[in-house]
Amino acid sequence: MSDAGRGDASEPTVSVVIPVRDEETDIAGCLRAVAAQTWGPQRLEVIVVDGGSVDHTVHVVRGEAEALDFGRFEVLDNAAQRIAPGLNLGLAHARGDVLVRVDARSRIEPDHVALAVALLRDRPGVGVVGGPQTALPRDGGALATGIARALRNQWTTGMARYRRSRVAGPADTVWMGAFRTRELRELGGWDDTLELNEDYDLNRRYRTAGQLVWFDPALAAGYLPRRDLRSLARQYYRFGQAKGGWWSRGWAPAPRQILLLGMPPVAGLATLLMGRRFGWLAASGSVAAAVLTVEGLGSSGPPGVLSARAVSVAATAVTCSAWWFGAVKELTSVRLRPVRRGPVRRG
């Protein structure tokens, strides 16, 4: 790293790795958030790993980089066009003592890097640090507001700690994450064979190696969701497939995931029984009341106008059903093996 990127020799150097693919509309905001760090852009090495973008992502990235004056900047070509190989390519090129993963549609707070570095410095038993994930409306319209509200629902988006908690402490996984580069390399980086779920797998390996995965609400970051319900459904279907594929490898679901898998069939059975006992109108009303309760109490987003709330209800139904169908399809398409009890595969 150049002298400009190193800063005080007594402080750790930092590499920011950003995997991208077809993010021409969102990557500029991401890079500007990185440049706004209190750590200082000239003290950062920024590595953007492009997974075969067919839009103007790389052009936008290079233009922003020239204007933002990072200490060191590099664009790499990820021929595999998947997230995990891209992250590992960034890891291989990183020169910093600390590696901070940042996603293209994320918007990190100005003190994100400084806080991550301080947490890793002050907690030697911690291997990974991360914070809350908050969906941000892309604009003030009902569609964008409703989608963001739905994705802030702690009950229907997986119930991971980074989606619901505001108390610091150990977690099973965190979003994005900051790591000591040396330790990350020793652990083997991300698993190249995974299409998705690479973050959970990495965090699991840290925990198995005896290091804490640490959640801290001070490391909050926003992200921009998909723009419409169709693309949101495709995304959550793939998330469900990734989880189903993970479980089909022999890893047991977390209790919160078992709950999510069980909710739709239980709700369907309850509706069927209520319909036969009290009539379908009463059953439908009960289901609607339950959905509205989950949407209203589970979300931390602003109430919004009625149209935004309606979109939120629809988006909640879309994400839950798409995830469930993806997971079940993947689980039923392969022969399940016993839960793995042996040594951790390093990938």
**Residues 204, 116: contact at Cβ < 8 Å?**
no
**Residue 62 domain boundaries:** 3-227
Does any domain span residue 342?
no
Is position 341 within any domain? no
* Region of 214 on the Ramachandran plot (φ > 0 left; ψ -120 to 50 alpha; else beta): beta
Residues 8 and 128 in one domain: yes
* 256 and 154 within one domain: no
Tens-place pLDDT, residues 276-324? 555 555 555 555 555 655 555 555 555 556 788 788 888 888 888 888 8
Whether 181 and 210 share a structural domain: yes
In a domain, 17, yes or no: yes
Task: Name the domain boundary from 163, 192, 227.
Answer: 227
* Mean pLDDT to the nearest integer, 219-240: 92
Supply the DSSP symbol for 182.
Answer: H
| Average pLDDT for 2-11 | 55
Asked whether residue 184 carries a pLDDT value surpassing 50, the answer given is: yes
Q: Domain count of the chain?
A: 2
pLDDT at res. 113:
98
Q: Both ends of the chain: CA-CA distance in Å?
A: 29
pLDDT in the model for residue 277: 59
Last residue of a domain, one of 227, 260, 275: 227
What is the pLDDT, as a whole number, of residue 340? 45
Residues 207 and 300 in one domain: no
Q: What is the pLDDT of residue 342?
A: 39
Q: Are the C-beta atoms of 13 and 6 separated by less than 8 Å?
A: yes
The string of pLDDT tens digits covering residues 64-77 is 999 998 999 999 99
The answer to whether residue 28 is domain-embedded is yes
In three-state secondary structure terms, 101 is: strand
Query: Which segment of 2-6, 109-113, 193-197 scores lowest on mean pLDDT?
Result: 2-6
Shared-domain flag, residues 240 and 215: no
Residue 111 falls inside a structural domain? yes
| Mean pLDDT value of segment 101-112 | 97
Domain boundary among the residues 205, 227, 249 is at 227
Work out the percent of the chain whose per-residue pLDDT is above 90. 55
Query: Pick from 243, 186, 176: which is nearest to 209 by CA?
Result: 186
Per-residue tokens: 337: 């093996």
Lowest mean pLDDT among 49-53, 158-162, 189-193, 324-328: 158-162
Top-confidence range, 58-62, 135-139, 316-320, 324-328: 58-62
On whether both 218 and 253 belong to a single domain, the answer is: no
Alpha helix (H) ranges present in the chain? 3-6, 27-35, 57-68, 83-93, 112-122, 142-150, 161-164, 181-186, 198-208, 229-248, 255-278, 280-298, 306-332
Q: Does 344 map to a domain?
A: no
Q: Give pLDDT tens digits for 19-50.
A: 999 999 999 999 999 999 999 999 999 999 99
Cβ of 322: how many Cβ atoms within 10 Å? 21
Residues 136-180 pLDDT 10s: 999 989 999 999 988 888 766 666 666 666 889 999 889 999 999
190 plus 297 within the same structural domain? no
Q: What is the mean pLDDT of residues 233-244?
A: 88
pTM exceeding 0.85: no
Residue 30 sits in a domain whose CATH number is: 3.90.550.10
**Angle ∠(153,234,323) on CA atoms, nearest 5:** 50
In this structure, the answer to whether residues 72 and 158 fall within a common structural domain is yes
Tell me what the mean pLDDT of segment 206-230 comes to: 94
Domain co-membership, 198 together with 170: yes
What confidence tier does 338 reach under pLDDT thresholds 50, 70, 90? very low
Instruction: Please tell me whether residues 285 and 267 are part of one structural domain.
Output: yes
Structure tokens at 64: 């922003």
**Residue 340 within a domain:** no
Averaged confidence pLDDT in the chain: 83
Residue 220 lies in a domain: yes
Long-range contacts of residues 264-270, Cβ cutoff 8 Å, at least 24 apart: 264/320, 264/321, 264/324
State the pLDDT confidence band at 1, using cuts at 50, 70 and 90.
Answer: very low
pLDDT higher than 90, residue 253: no
Claim to verify: residue 116 and residue 22 sit in the same structural domain: yes
Same domain, 172 and 283: no
What's the pLDDT at 206? 97
